[in-house]
A and B are shown apart, each in its own frame.
Chain A
Amino acid sequence: MLTLNNLCVHFPTKNGLVRAVDDISLTLHPGEILGLVGESGSGKSTVGKATLRLLDVTSGNIVLDGEDVTHATGSGLKPLRTKAQMIFQDPHSSLNPRMTVGRIVAEPLVIHTKIRGHRLTETTAKILDRVGLPSQFLHRYPHELSGGQKQRVAIARALTVDPDMLILDEPTSALDVSVQAQILEFLKELHAERPRMTSLFISHNLAVVRYLCHRIAVMYLGKIVEEGPVAAVFSNPCHPYTKALLSAVPLPQAEQNDSRIRLEGDLPSPVNPPTGCAFHPRCQVAVAGKCDVEPPNWVDLGNARARCHLIEEQAE
């Protein structure tokens, strides 16, 4: 459904070039939910925005449903704008405060179709119903809605054009856990109903990714360091960063994991990333003279892959 080939997104800043996304390749098959996780500054949101061409791509290409949309402009963007939709993190700011829910949800139809008048209202009401909001909400303004209701409106807007691809940029992290559960259940249901629906789920919340996604890709400083089916990656993480990330999550249970890996220090600056493997300054098993010199290559681990010198050595 979606293929990203060697995608790079670089921003020039005062302090130098920020390599927000650096040589990323991902393939999403129809019906799949891929979780893209990483800490802030890892470039995971940039991947989502670049995929929808909300940001300029520096190099590499984006193929959506067999069509290269990397350099599409004007009407060439239409397939991308109707097939792929994005849902943003903060539902409070992703809805125009001066538009009613009805107009917000109808906007994609107004832009892309000739549906107007009664039929537009009818279709909008149907879509609102689909996300669990009664048609009375058509005439409300966003500020009259709760956070969960707003996120439903944002989802409704994304669903109006019947997209096959959803890019979910932390759709639940601004919400309370009980509302988060409602949204996650809804997304799961949506995928069950529509076998072709493919999602790129961007999140820092590993528990949510574990729950919803089929595959996971872990990002660190603009690069993917490990990718594989969720069950495999969560039960048997290979990359030291994935291991540390998993063991840093506080568990909602009385007994905590005692043998935790604690990472020292902060994320390095993406302007001036470390040489070799970008993770080596924080890595507890880094080998001097190797990890800090050459960048690691992908190691194929059956259905998963990871990028680490140590795994490379083990594989040999």
Chain B
Amino acid sequence: MTPLLSIQDLALEFNTFDGSYKAIDHVNLDLMPGETIGLVGETGCGKSVLTRAAFGLVPTPPANITSGSVKFEGREILNLSPAEQRAMRGRDVAMIFQDPMTFINPVFKVGTQLVDAVRAQRRGQVSKTEARDIALAMLDKVHLPNPVRQFESYPHQLSGGMRQRVLIAMALMAEPKLLIADEPTTALDVTIQAQILDLIAELVEDMGISLIMISHDLGVVAQNCGRVAVMYSGQIVEDAPVKQIFDAPCHPYTKGLLGAVPHPLHASEGLKEIPGTLPNLYRPPTGCRFADRCTHATAACSVKRVEQITVADDHRVTCTLFADQHVDA
């Protein structure tokens, strides 16, 4: 089966006043149709930049894609024209973000914006009333209470959870093949977060959409994704099915992340701190980027670039400790 999205060897740097900041370092990521994958990592690890860069949403300059290819359904998309990329984003790929208010125009009614979105996506082939029906059906699908009334509201009159529902409706109206959710619930309260996560899971399942969920919260990813890719300073350090990530993590950074979060329901014995700070990405280390903070690091770790190693079926780790456990998948 060909992957829906295949990111190969993607590298990106930002040219800034202080020099070039190597934000994404030769990342590989495949996403099969219908698969749900969670991208986790801390601030500055490049998880948002990665998905944005893949779909031409990072302005160049200051960014500069130095190598790699991104194929969507087998078609290279990095060298598409901006207009073609835009068309693809409207049709095949949809995105939702942390702060819905940034992506909804505050001066227009919710309904007006939805109708406009429908008509833009269908290239004006639908009348206003048809568009309205489609939009209302979509609002119903995202379980927005009282869709007819909310149609006439302004975005600021909706609560955060309702806005996120509207944004999801808008994103899924064109029936995309891939949904990218960038920290969709970070700004929301836990009970509302639970509603939105359930909604995303339900829609992804019903519509057969693939999902990339970007989050800093391991719990959110565990709940909604089948696979997890852990990112650390511009690299994917571990990529495995969700069960393996939580039950048998390999990379020391993944273990560190898991040890650093207290469990919500039982008493935890003391948290494991990850010592040190992030490497300087203006002058990244030649070897493993985590070596400075890693308790298992050996001299070999800092010598040369660490390659991705397949340790089990669908389980890849970027760590020298597993060099001898390589299996051919």
Q: Mark B220-249, 1 if CB is under 8 A from A, else 0.
A: 101100000000000000000011011100
Question: Is the CB of A50 closer than 8 A to any CB of chain B?
Answer: no
Cα A188 to Cα B195 with chains together (Å): 33
Closest to B262 in A: A211
Contacts of A231 on B, CB cut-off 8 Å?
Answer: 267
Contact of B260 among A178, A188, A260 (CB under 8 A): A178
Closest to A176 in B: B42
Question: Is the CB of B116 closer than 8 A to any CB of chain A?
Answer: no
Within 8 A of A (CB), among B203-229: 216-220, 222-223
Cα A177 to Cα B193 with chains together (Å): 19
Question: Is the CB of B78 closer than 8 A to any CB of chain A?
Answer: no
Question: Is the CB of A248 closer than 8 A to any CB of chain B?
Answer: yes
A214 CB, min distance to chain B CBs, angstroms: 11
Q: Mark A174-217, 1 if CB is under 8 A from B, else 0.
A: 00111011101100100000000000000010111011100000
Within 8 A of A (CB), among B275-307: 277
Contacts of A244 on B, CB cut-off 8 Å?
Answer: 191
B167 CB, min distance to chain A CBs, angstroms: 16
Contacts of B81 on A, CB cut-off 8 Å?
Answer: none
Question: Is the CB of A251 closer than 8 A to any CB of chain B?
Answer: yes
Contact B256 A245 (CB under 8 A): no
Contact A185 B191 (CB under 8 A): no
Cα A253 to Cα B267 with chains together (Å): 15
Interface size class of B (residues with CB under 8 A): 35 or more
Closest to A256 in B: B223
Contact A265 B145 (CB under 8 A): yes
Contact B42 A184 (CB under 8 A): no
Question: Is the CB of A267 closer than 8 A to any CB of chain B?
Answer: yes
Contacts of B216 on A, CB cut-off 8 Å?
Answer: 176-177
Q: Mark A264-307, 1 if CB is under 8 A from B, else 0.
A: 11110000000000000000000000000000000000000000
B164 CB, min distance to chain A CBs, angstroms: 11
Closest to B43 in A: A176
Question: Is the CB of B270 closer than 8 A to any CB of chain A?
Answer: yes
Question: Is the CB of B272 closer than 8 A to any CB of chain A?
Answer: yes
Contact of B263 among A39, A210, A245, A264 (CB under 8 A): A210
Contacts of B246 on A, CB cut-off 8 Å?
Answer: 252-254
Contacts of B245 on A, CB cut-off 8 Å?
Answer: 254
Contact B42 A267 (CB under 8 A): no
Contact B267 A249 (CB under 8 A): no
Contact A260 B270 (CB under 8 A): no
A235 CB, min distance to chain B CBs, angstroms: 8
B220 CB, min distance to chain A CBs, angstroms: 5
Contact of B219 among A181, A234, A252, A266 (CB under 8 A): A252
Known: A250-B219, A250-B222, A251-B222. A260 touches B273 (CB 8 A): no
Cα A248 to Cα B217 with chains together (Å): 14
Contact B223 A262 (CB under 8 A): no
Contact of B257 among A39, A177, A250, A262 (CB under 8 A): A177
Cα A264 to Cα B159 with chains together (Å): 13
| Most chain B C-beta atoms within 10 Å of own C-beta, residue among A177, A188, A235 | A177
Contacts of A180 on B, CB cut-off 8 Å?
Answer: 260-261
Contacts of B261 on A, CB cut-off 8 Å?
Answer: 177, 180-181, 207, 252
Cα A233 to Cα B126 with chains together (Å): 55
Q: How many positions in chain A have a CB within 8 Å of any CB in the partner chain?
A: 41
Known: A250-B223, A266-B159. A177 touches B42 (CB 8 A): yes
Question: Is the CB of B77 closer than 8 A to any CB of chain A?
Answer: no
Question: Is the CB of B1 closer than 8 A to any CB of chain A?
Answer: no
B162 CB, min distance to chain A CBs, angstroms: 7
Within 8 A of A (CB), among B7-53: 42-43
Contacts of B260 on A, CB cut-off 8 Å?
Answer: 177-178, 180-181
Closest to B271 in A: A181
Question: Is the CB of B189 closer than 8 A to any CB of chain A?
Answer: yes
Question: Is the CB of B190 closer than 8 A to any CB of chain A?
Answer: yes
Question: Is the CB of A263 closer than 8 A to any CB of chain B?
Answer: yes
Contact of A252 among B43, B192, B258 (CB under 8 A): B258
Contact A185 B270 (CB under 8 A): yes
Closest to A208 in B: B262
Question: Is the CB of B274 closer than 8 A to any CB of chain A?
Answer: yes
Question: Is the CB of A246 closer than 8 A to any CB of chain B?
Answer: yes
Cα A252 to Cα B218 with chains together (Å): 5
Question: Is the CB of A40 closer than 8 A to any CB of chain B?
Answer: yes
Contact B268 A211 (CB under 8 A): yes
Contacts of B223 on A, CB cut-off 8 Å?
Answer: 250-251, 256
Known: A207-B262, A266-B161. A178 touches B257 (CB 8 A): yes
Contacts of B42 on A, CB cut-off 8 Å?
Answer: 176-178
Contact B277 A249 (CB under 8 A): no
Contact B222 A267 (CB under 8 A): no
Cα A211 to Cα B266 with chains together (Å): 8
B229 CB, min distance to chain A CBs, angstroms: 15
Cα A20 to Cα B134 with chains together (Å): 40
A8 CB, min distance to chain B CBs, angstroms: 23
Question: Is the CB of B197 closer than 8 A to any CB of chain A?
Answer: yes
Contact A178 B222 (CB under 8 A): no
Known: A146-B277, A178-B257, A250-B219. A263 touches B242 (CB 8 A): no
Contacts of A246 on B, CB cut-off 8 Å?
Answer: 264-265
Closest to B159 in A: A266
Contact A263 B191 (CB under 8 A): yes
Contact A211 B191 (CB under 8 A): no
Counting from the closest, the 5 A-B pairs by CB-CB distance are: A250-B219, A211-B262, A39-B189, A248-B194, A207-B264
Q: 11 A-B residue contacts at CB 8 Å?
A: A39-B189, A181-B261, A185-B270, A206-B190, A211-B271, A234-B265, A234-B266, A246-B264, A250-B193, A254-B243, A263-B191
Q: A39-B189, A266-B192 are in contact. List 7 more A-B contacts (CB 8 A).
A: A40-B189, A207-B261, A207-B263, A248-B190, A251-B222, A256-B223, A267-B159
